[in-house]
Amino acid sequence: MKLNLVVGGAAGQGLKTLNYILSKTFFRKGFSIYSSKDYMSRVRGGHNFMSIRIGDEEITGPTTEEDILLALNEETIELHQDKLVDDSTILYDGELEDRRSVNLSASEIAKEIGNSKVASTVFIGGVLKILGLDLAETKEVLDEYFEDEEIKEINYKALEAGYQEVETDYQLPSVSKTDNQILIDGNQAVGLGAVMAGVQFYSAYPMTPSTGVMNYIANQENKLGIVVEQAEDEIAAINMAIGASYSGVRAMTGTSGGGFALMNEGLGLAGVAETPLVIAEVQRPGPATGLPTRTEQSDLSFVINSSQGEFPLVVLAPKDAQDAFHQTFRAFNLAEKYQLPVIILSDQFLADSKKNITEFDLDSLTIKRSIMSDEEAEKIEDYKRYQLTEDGISPLAYPGQLEDEVVVFDSDEHDQEGHITEDADTRVKMVDKRAKKIEKLIDEDLAEPEYIGPEKIDYLLVGWGSTYGPLLEAREKLAQDDCQVGVLSFSDVWPLPTAKLEEKAENIELIVVENNSTGQFSKLIRSETGIKASEKILKYDGRPFTGFELYNAIKEEVMF
């Protein structure tokens, strides 16, 4: 069983609260959840909607098919009626003559109760009754969400009033609650991964859709002793993080496309100074302001080629919330081990989508610090910050750690001690030294993409980052049609791991799926391996793929 509820209305009508309360309720009742947002870049007005897909088995992505529409205004019905399935239900705040409609005078009920703002809670009561669910978990969620006792009471009344006004229409299967599940979105997962990796300093200028990462870490600031700085712009944000990292603490910054453009000079500084740095780049469509609240995977080429000159960096693109947590944790260890910038390339779709996942196994995590210990520091004589070594990695100390030694940090080309030089021979040695680190990383830490599917296939679907969930659903539907299809999903995108791709791509049709207009990942694959995609399925309207959409595209554009 899978059921998709869509909550639609204008910004300012309480959609966010309604979505939160309903998602939490379904989660606590034991259903699998996939919640996503489609919202406009404005404070009030416009049309926004949020989807909550629930089921009795894992859900990996959104769908455009709508079973229940919670329409907070008439415009929502006009915009969504074409997506409603045949036996759908419309819960509408008013009088609507439609065989599918259940009219619920939520606004009037809210006024009678004494607070017009609780109309969305009346809706929650109504939809729970339609689904044949009780109110116990919802009351718990309301209790946690509202602090003021008077506000809690009026929301309880609104919830029960909505519940009494409608009849049950659906019979959902019984599901069992599990104790090892959490409900989390992509930005929260990145923030939690950073916290568990021991981040001590986070600086950022708020920019949609990356702000959620800063909000999450800021909420842990006092509890965990993390310094969170809202900088005046992205230039300051990255330079603050570089300074913090130089002082020996784990540091991170975050932004979205246009903000990352501003960070580019700072990124090069981290590269030449060999300063460990983690950056969350949560993509949105560009160029310039683009579509601030929409999604796209169009920063890939920009990010892997960012800043001037040549220096090593790593780009990780999380597949889902579970992966976002682990990739962020991993990013801190990699940044410090190889003394370079590591970029977490997420996007709005992943950032704002919430799903239930298995609790993280925290015992399996190991923070690997690569700064020399104080005991090692005591034995150091004639310290060279940029010492030439066989693997390109120099001993890393923080200022003040070495008695009578200075830890020199330099943005110019420099010698082993960190002093500025224009000597040709030294320049070549330093460029080669920095490049060697990537050779070591490829040998020891680069992760091959995940493969899902049978051993023998006719088609290979290749994706990166957040296309993972929709690709899984599309593959499952194709398999039901007896199509032999596999999915290869990349999280490490730079340097590009090539072994599994070369193994799987032999003598089959390779279909690359990505959220941009030029097939940036397809080009990257071809430049790194010579492998050319048979087909590309691209989407760049600011919306994510759905599994059903990919299934149809593959059947219609590739197989026939």
How far lies 444's CA from each of 150, 337, 439, 447, in Å? 58, 11, 9, 9
DSSP assignment of 404-446 equals T------SS-B-TTS-B---HHHHHHHHHHHHHHHHHHHHHTP
Nearest by Cα to 199 from 274, 255, 252: 252
State yes or no: cis peptide before 341, omega within 30 of 0.
no
pLDDT, mean of residues 376-393? 96
Q: What are the tokens at 87?
A: 């036996």
CA distance readout (Å), 100 to 69, 168, 201, 404, 420 = 10, 14, 53, 80, 74
Give the pLDDT confidence score for residue 246 in this predicted structure. 98
Banded pLDDT at 441 (limits 50, 70, 90): very high
Residue-level pLDDT at 12? 83
Ranges 43-47, 111-115, 120-124, 309-313: which has the least confidence: 43-47
Mean pLDDT of the region 345-361: 97
Check residue 395 and give its pLDDT: 97
Q: CA nearest 221: which of 234, 209, 230?
A: 230
Mean pLDDT, the chain, integer:
96
> Is the pLDDT reported for residue 305 higher than 80?
yes
CA distance 380 to 501: 45
Instruction: Check residue 271 and give its pLDDT.
Output: 98
Looking at residue 96, what is its pLDDT?
A: 87
Residue-wise pLDDT tens digits, 480-525: 999 999 999 999 999 999 999 999 998 899 999 999 999 999 999 9
Residue 144 phi/psi, 5° resolution? -80, -30
State mean pLDDT over 208-216: 98
Q: How far is CA 89 from CA 27, 77, 80, 126, in A?
A: 22, 11, 12, 12
Q: What integer pLDDT is reported at residue 131 of this predicted model?
A: 97
What are the structure tokens assigned to 205, written together? 């200028």
- Predicted pLDDT at 99: 85
Longest CA–CA span in the chain (Å) reads: 85
For residue 56, CA distances in Å to 20, 175, 308, 518 come to 20, 6, 50, 38
Strand partners, 441: none
Predicted local distance difference test score (pLDDT) of residue 419:
97
Provide the CA 297 distance to its chain's centre, in angstroms: 12
Within 10 angstroms of residue 375's Cβ, the number of other Cβ atoms is 7
Size of the chain in residues: 560
Distances from the Cα of 37 to the Cα of 142, 165, 269, 453, angstroms:
21, 28, 36, 30
pLDDT at 530 over 80: yes
- Band of pLDDT at residue 43, cut at 50, 70 and 90: confident
Q: What tens digit of pLDDT does each residue of 147-180 get?
A: 999 999 999 999 999 999 999 999 999 998 888 9
Q: What does the block give as tokens for 211?
A: 């702000």
Please name which of 426, 341, 435 lies closest in space to residue 391, comparing C-alpha atoms.
Answer: 435
| Percentage of residues in the chain having pLDDT higher than 90 | 93
* CB distance 369 to 248 below 8 Å: no
- 106-116 pLDDT, tens digit per residue, is 999 999 999 99
Question: Would you say residue 560 has pLDDT above 80?
Answer: no
| Mean pLDDT of the region 368-394 | 96
Percent of the chain with pLDDT over 70: 100
**Residue whose entry in the numeric block shows the structure tokens 């034991």:** 30
pLDDT at 42 > cutoff 90: no
- What pLDDT is attached to residue 404? 86
Confidence check: pLDDT of 227 > 80: yes
